[in-house]
Amino acid sequence: MSDCIFCKIANGEIPSNTIYENSDFRVILDNGPATKGHALVLPKAHYADLFEIPEETLAGAAKVAKEVASNMKEKLGCDGLNLVQNNGSAAGQTVMHFHLHIIPRYSNDCQHILWKPTQPSAEELVAIKNTIVGE
Applying CB under 6 A, the residues found at the interface with ligand 5GP are 5, 16, 28-32, 40, 86, 92-95
- Minimum Å gap between C-beta 29 and ligand 5GP is 6
Distance CA 120, CA 128 (A): 10
CB of 67 to ligand 5GP, least distance (A): 19
Q: Which of 26, 38, 97, 101: binder of Zn ion (CB under 5 A)?
A: 97
Which strands form 100-105's sheet, in the order they lie side by side? Answer: 18-21, 25-29, 39-43, 100-105, 80-84
CB of 79 to ligand 5GP, least distance (A): 21
Angle at CA of residue 80, ends 97 and 7, nearest 5°? 15
Rounded-to-integer distance, Cα 79 and Cα 27, Å: 21
38 catalytic? Reply is no
- Which residues lie across from 81 on neighbouring strands? 104
Does the protein bind Zn ion through residue 46 (CB under 5 A)? yes
- Interacting residues with Zn ion (CB under 5 A): 1, 4, 6-7, 46, 97
- Which residues form the catalytic set? 99
